[in-house]
Structures are given as structure tokens and as C-alpha cells.
Amino acid sequence: MIGKKQTHILANPYLFWVCYWLVWTLLLSNFQPVGKAIGMASLSVAAQGIVALATVRLLIPRFLEKRKYLAYGLLVIALLLLVTVLYMRLSEPGVRFLTVKREIRYPKAFQFGRMYFLLFIIHITSVTYKFATDRFRAQHRQSELLRKQLETELQVLKAQINPHFLFNTLNNVYTLAYLKDDNAAPMIMKLSELLRYTLYDCQADRVRLEKEVEFLQNIVAMQQLKSGNYQNQLSFTSSGVQPEQLIAPLLLLVFVENSFKHGDLDTNADGSIAISLNMDDTGVLLFECVNTTRKRVSHEHFSQGIGLNNVRKRLEMIYPGTHELTLSEQKDRFFVRLKIYQL
């Protein structure tokens, strides 16, 4: 995306005219003294600049863009004639303009036609420039609006994730407290750590991957406090994580939560939840989550939740074209596989 500095340069091309004048001066200095070359370059560039400025600032916005085509055409002809006549007058023998005095080597009609044609080319170039810069500004404004819209949507999605996570966790704490389980106090402590992470560390667009992994490990550890079945049949492994790697915060939480919600560890002694995260040597992240499911839970039920729809949107906005998300069901197991090629 082109920034405001580049836009300012395009909208104020005074540097171009200075360089253009220098080019004219250098070219003319090959055929006449430097003083005369400077004078003629100044006269010629001034005439062209007047045409360009009048075209961009007056004729196009007040006539062409308002579809006053006849008035526009007549004014263009009048402008070119007027500037050409002034140029010819100031460059005539005996007329001094910035110490310029030169002999006419060609007939006046030829010189008049040559200058008129040059100014016409400048006019066409100015029209092209005006429409190109207007289009650029429109695209730039559209890009800025889209960027702000995406940022707003991301903030909304993140705001939806935190209450969803808190609601599920408080349900677990309530269950343990109701049963007067000794694990209720450790779970509340874990919840405090998790809330600190979600409230403070997750405000940035990116967080350190190792912090996100630690967050998921705490989520799993808190879930393992529920029962011996969770302790033995729920696992989380990670490998290849480096300190400099960053990821969008809370991106993987939904998959982990859904495995808890739709898994069958509460009723199936042989059930399991296996979660893994791996970073390979090329910087590709592979996240996998496999859980056994209750018989009444279908693939469609699992994949159409609010949380999962949110994470799909976040992936599209944050990692467009650089991720692969696969959800599949085989017999009594549900598989989540996410690859991110560019963190």
C-alpha cells in the first residue's frame, strides 16, 4: 500500500517541474550561452507550466468533469493560443526576457505551430496525469477505508472471543465448586492467569507464539483438573517454537474449546483429545486437534458454531492466501488441521 508521503509527492509535483527546467536548460546550453539557455528554458517551461496548471486546476474540475464539453474545448483552444502568442511575443528579436535575445531561424508560422503543438501535448499529458492521480487517490481512500473496516471487524471478533472463552471456563469452575472438588481453587488461579493474558497481552495485533502456546497449555492444564479421565486422555504437545515468532492472538483457542465441548471424555473412558502445534524449519505452522465425539454430534453441528465462523473470518483477514484450514470427520473422531505458511 502506498503511504501518505508518496501521495503528497504525486499531488504536488513541483519537484518534477524543477527537474524539467534543468533538463531544458542543459539541452539548450549545448547550442547557446548558458545565460540565454537559462532564459529560454525558463520561458518555455513557464509557458508549459501555465497550460498544465490551468488544465489541472481549472479546466478539468470546472468544465470537463461537469460535462461542459463545448466550453471546455473552446477554452482549451483559447488557452493554447493565448500562451503561444505570449511566448512568441516574449521570444521575438529585440524583446528582452531574462536577458534573452536571439535571432529567429525559422518562419514565424513554423515556430508558432511548433509551440502550439508542444503545448497541446502538455495539455493532453496534464489531462492524463489528472485522471491518473484522481484514480490513485480514490483507490488509496478505498484501501484506507477497507483497512479500517478490517481492523474494526478484528476488534469485534476478538471482543466476541473473550466472553465466549470466559463463559465456558466459568461453567467448569462452577461445576467443580458445586461438587466441592479440591481442584476448584487451582482452576480459579489458572483462570486468573488466563484472564490476565487475554485482557493485557492480546491487545496487540500479534503476540509471541510461545506466549500463545503457554496460554493453550494453561487452558489444557485447567481442563485436566476436571477429572482423571481428562488428566490421562487429554494431551497437548508443541515443538519448533522460537522466541521471535509471532501469531494473531487467540487464533487457536476456538479449536481447543470445541474439542472440549464436543468431545466425549465425560462419558467415554476410551475417549481422547490430542492437540499438537509444530513449527518446521521453513517457518510453516502446523496445528492439529483430534478428538473423539459423542454420537449425536455431527460435523455440521461442530463446524457451524459462532466461534469457528469467527476464526474463519480472522484467518481470511489476517492470513489471506497463506493458510489452509481442514475440518473432517472419520467414524467417531473429528479432525482439525490448520497450516499457516507465513506468520
Rounded to an integer, the average pLDDT of 211-223 is: 89
Which pLDDT does position 179 carry in this prediction? 75
- For residue 240, the domain's CATH number is 3.30.565.10
Which pLDDT does position 10 carry in this prediction? 46
The grid cell for 146 is 477497507
The CA distance from 26 to 333, in Å, is 78
The grid cell for 55 is 488544465
Quick check: is 264 in a domain?
Answer: yes
Quick check: is 158 in a domain?
Answer: no
The CA distance from 210 to 178, in Å, is 34
User: Which residues constitute the domain of residue 304?
Assistant: 181-340
Residues 242 and 333 in one domain: yes
Which pLDDT does position 334 carry in this prediction? 92
What DSSP designation does 274 have?
E
Q: Which residue shows C-alpha cell 485482557?
A: 199
The grid cell for 168 is 465456558
Residues 111 and 233 in one domain: no
Which pLDDT does position 252 carry in this prediction? 92
Rounded to an integer, the average pLDDT of 1-28 is: 68
List Cβ neighbours of 36 (8 Å cut-off, separation of 6 or more): 28, 99, 100, 101, 102
Residues 78 and 217 in one domain: no
What DSSP designation does 57 have?
I
Residues 52 and 134 in one domain: yes
Quick check: is 163 in a domain?
Answer: no
Residues 221 and 321 in one domain: yes
The grid cell for 211 is 506466549
Beta carbons of 241 and 215 less than 8 angstroms apart: no
The CA distance from 236 to 49, in Å, is 70
Which pLDDT does position 304 carry in this prediction? 54
Residues 187 and 137 in one domain: no
Quick check: is 76 in a domain?
Answer: yes
Which pLDDT does position 156 carry in this prediction? 64
Class of residue 162 by CB neighbours under 10 A (exposed 0-12, middle 13-18, buried 19+): middle
Residues 122 and 222 in one domain: no
Which pLDDT does position 213 carry in this prediction? 95
Which pLDDT does position 13 carry in this prediction? 73
Quick check: is 159 in a domain?
Answer: no
Which pLDDT does position 266 carry in this prediction? 83
Instruction: Indicate the average pLDDT of the chain.
Output: 82
Picking from 297, 265, 291, 261, the residue whose alpha carbon sits closest to that of residue 276 is 291
If you average pLDDT over each of 106-120, 142-156, 246-260, which comes out highest? 246-260
Quick check: is 20 in a domain?
Answer: yes
Residues 206 and 135 in one domain: no
Quick check: is 259 in a domain?
Answer: yes
Q: Is the pLDDT at 161 greater than 60, yes or no?
A: no
Q: Is the pLDDT at 103 greater than 80, yes or no?
A: no
Residues 135 and 248 in one domain: no
The CA distance from 257 to 302, in Å, is 11
Band of residue 101 on the pLDDT scale cut at 50, 70, 90 = very low
- Listed residues 113, 142, 171: the one ending a domain: 142
Which pLDDT does position 297 carry in this prediction? 52
Residues 121 and 212 in one domain: no
Which pLDDT does position 324 carry in this prediction? 96
The CA distance from 184 to 211, in Å, is 24
- Listed residues 142, 169, 195: the one ending a domain: 142
Rounded to an integer, the average pLDDT of 321-337 is: 91
**pLDDT above 90 covers what percent of the chain?**
29
Which pLDDT does position 158 carry in this prediction? 60
Q: Is the pLDDT at 332 greater than 50, yes or no?
A: yes
Pairing of strands 285-292, 273-279: antiparallel
Beta carbons of 283 and 342 less than 8 angstroms apart: yes
**Crossing angle of helices 253-262/306-318, nearest 10°?**
160
Residues 137 and 278 in one domain: no
Rounded to an integer, the average pLDDT of 70-91 is: 90
Residues 126 and 221 in one domain: no
Radius of gyration over every alpha carbon of the chain, rounded to an integer in angstroms = 35
Which pLDDT does position 94 carry in this prediction? 46
Least trusted range by pLDDT, from 215-219, 226-230, 296-300, 309-313: 296-300
Which pLDDT does position 59 carry in this prediction? 92
φ/ψ of residue 286, rounded to 5: -125, 115
Using CA atoms, how far residue 62 sits from 47, 48, 75, 98, in Å, is 21, 20, 11, 34
Band of residue 181 on the pLDDT scale cut at 50, 70, 90 = confident
The CA distance from 57 to 153, in Å, is 39
Least trusted range by pLDDT, from 24-38, 137-151, 291-305: 291-305
Which pLDDT does position 239 carry in this prediction? 96
Q: Which residue shows C-alpha cell 473423539?
A: 292
Domain count of the fold of the chain = 2
Quick check: is 269 in a domain?
Answer: yes
Q: Is the pLDDT at 182 greater than 90, yes or no?
A: no
Band of residue 100 on the pLDDT scale cut at 50, 70, 90 = very low
Q: How many CB atoms lie within 10 A of CB 234?
A: 23
Which pLDDT does position 300 carry in this prediction? 54
Q: Is the pLDDT at 14 greater than 70, yes or no?
A: yes
Q: Is the pLDDT at 340 greater than 90, yes or no?
A: yes
